[in-house]
Amino acid sequence: MKTTSYWWEAAPRIETNCNSIPTLADVVIIGAGFTGLCAALSLARNGVSVVVFEAGVLGCGASTLNGGMVGPSFHKLGIEGLQAKYGEGRANDILRESVGFVDYLEDFIKTENIDADFIRNGRFRGALKPSHYDAMAKDLESLKKATGVDAEMIPKSEQHLESGSPRFHGGVVYQKDGGLHPAKYHDGLVKKVLDAGVVIISQTAVTKLKKMATGYEVTTSSGTLNASQVAVCTNGYTEKVTQEFRRRVLPMRSAMIATEALSPELIKELMPKQRVYSDTRRVVTYYRPSPDGTRILFGSRASGLKDKPQSNADLLKSFMTAVYPQLTGVSATHVWSGLVAYTFDHAPHIGQFGGKDGLFYAMGYCGSGVARSSYFGTKLGLKMLGNASSETAFDDLIFETAPLYNGNPWFMPTILAWHRLLDRFGL
């Protein structure tokens, strides 16, 4: 069993960095994932000189380690929780803007002519209990009223048309969701960014930021440069060099497995419409067919904060066979993991830190980052330009932290274990 991402088979991580660090740049971006690259592209195409630093090999982070599933990424609090926190008007604005994330991504990929195996095949979310189905129906009614989202409830009597799993009691289909090949998408983005004149320097960590009269002195593991503005686009990989952001995000490890090649008949039985899939358990699981339709890729939160391939594989296999007993005895050929970032208010955040000083950020995608990060990265670049079209419904949300939290989520394995126990009993 390989312990590298299945996505790297078709799009291997090839290190070709030979750039020396310039002494000056208009903007430095920390992080070469979807957020940082989309921000760089917006800036460079408007005449701004940009240097992007990546601490590892290009694409080593969550941008090529995720499930490649795209959707509106509706707020984790739910509609009622969101409205209670921000008020009905602001909440509905956030929800409506979220509906457009996938439209944005689809248009971007088509306009840029990036080969990323993008497809809008819909998402089926299964209800693990009858009460879950009732709650989903109520939520969908409110969601349709707020956003007009294209979705429908699937009763248990028709569930076989959507899923070959015996576990569910019906579910909901979101028609506009879909999937892509995240490593191919990342590679395509890198090419567009380089073509726009951006300097990307990989395997080079930013180790210090010093505020100067005219911007920032940026110290890295390979040298120092000065920049007028800095953008922090590190999400689950935020380090102590930007401690004010690190203490506002909760890094969590997500893991995935890829099954061995399966027969077309079995794939058809399990995933009749080749959609992307999830369910109503507390500790989220997500699964989909591979883009070529030969395997199932299955993911959930990992067994701990560190990468433990065998432990993760065992955990995911147990989840997978609970959903699909037909896969009992099927081998996994790949297991891998990466870090996502949650926030204390369950919302992503974007803006200029403190509203001044040229330190910008976009992060906290709460495990739903493929479409969100692309959209937020583009908007972030426009904000740094002072462009009026940079406005989002997420602007000015208070980027919360918690007393005594320093960025080390040592308590999360215990919390996840508790939620897995509740899932086990259907609570």
Is 80 exceeded by the pLDDT of residue 395?
yes
Q: Does residue 384 belong to any structural domain of this protein?
A: yes
Q: How much is the pLDDT for 210?
A: 96
Is 80 exceeded by the pLDDT of residue 48?
yes
Contact at 8 Å (CB) between 114 and 185?
yes
pLDDT tens digit string along 334-359? 999 999 999 999 899 999 998 778 99
Is 90 exceeded by the pLDDT of residue 322?
yes
Q: Side chain identity at 161, as an amino acid letter?
A: L
Task: Report the alpha-carbon distance of residue 297 to residue 312 in Å, rounded.
Answer: 14
Contact at 8 Å (CB) between 271 and 163?
yes
Q: How much is the pLDDT for 129?
A: 93
Q: Does residue 424 belong to any structural domain of this protein?
A: no
Q: Total structural domains in the chain?
A: 1
Q: What is the dihedral of CA 53, 197, 372, 170, to 10 degrees?
A: -110
Q: Give the mean model confidence (pLDDT) for residues 312-325.
A: 96
Q: How much is the pLDDT for 420?
A: 81
Q: Give the mean model confidence (pLDDT) for residues 210-217.
A: 94
Q: Give the mean model confidence (pLDDT) for residues 76-88.
A: 81
Q: Does residue 120 belong to any structural domain of this protein?
A: no
The band of 76, judged by pLDDT with boundaries at 50, 70 and 90, is low
Is 70 exceeded by the pLDDT of residue 75?
no
Closest CA to 35 of 239, 194, 189: 189
Closest CA to 251 of 141, 90, 398, 413: 413
Q: How much is the pLDDT for 79?
A: 80
Question: Looking at per-residue confidence, does 233 or 74 come out higher?
Answer: 233
Q: Does residue 388 belong to any structural domain of this protein?
A: yes
pLDDT tens digit string along 13-28? 977 666 789 999 999 9
Q: How much is the pLDDT for 288?
A: 98
Q: Give the mean model confidence (pLDDT) for residues 352-378.
A: 94
Task: Report the alpha-carbon distance of residue 2 to residue 173 in Å, rounded.
Answer: 33
Q: Does residue 400 belong to any structural domain of this protein?
A: yes
Cβ partners under 8 Å of residue 149, min gap 6: 72, 99, 140, 143, 174, 176
The band of 416, judged by pLDDT with boundaries at 50, 70 and 90, is confident
Domain hosting 60: range is 6-65+183-250+344-412
Q: What does the angle CA 82 – CA 87 – CA 88 come to, to the nearest 5 degrees?
A: 85
Q: How much is the pLDDT for 165?
A: 96
User: Which runs of E-coded beta strand occur in 238-303?
Assistant: 249-259, 276-279, 285-289, 296-301
The band of 176, judged by pLDDT with boundaries at 50, 70 and 90, is very high
Q: How much is the pLDDT for 410?
A: 87
CATH number for the domain that contains residue 222: 3.50.50.60
Q: Given the structure tokens 């067919």, which residue do they identify? A: 289
Average pLDDT, rounded, for the chain: 94
Between strands 178-179 and 69-70, the pairing is antiparallel
Question: Which pTM does this prediction carry?
Answer: 0.96
Q: How much is the pLDDT for 18?
A: 62
Task: Report the alpha-carbon distance of residue 288 to residue 278 in Å, rounded.
Answer: 9
Q: Does residue 188 belong to any structural domain of this protein?
A: yes
Of these ranges, 70-74, 77-81, 166-170, 343-347, the one predicted with the greatest mean pLDDT is: 166-170
Task: Report the alpha-carbon distance of residue 92 to residue 87 in Å, rounded.
Answer: 9
Q: Does residue 369 belong to any structural domain of this protein?
A: yes
Distances (CA, A) of 184 to 43, 109, 191, 208, 310: 22, 11, 11, 32, 27
Q: How much is the pLDDT for 411?
A: 86
Closest CA to 361 of 261, 251, 238, 271: 238
Q: Does residue 70 belong to any structural domain of this protein?
A: no
Q: Give the mean model confidence (pLDDT) for residues 143-171.
A: 95
Compute the residue count for the chain: 427
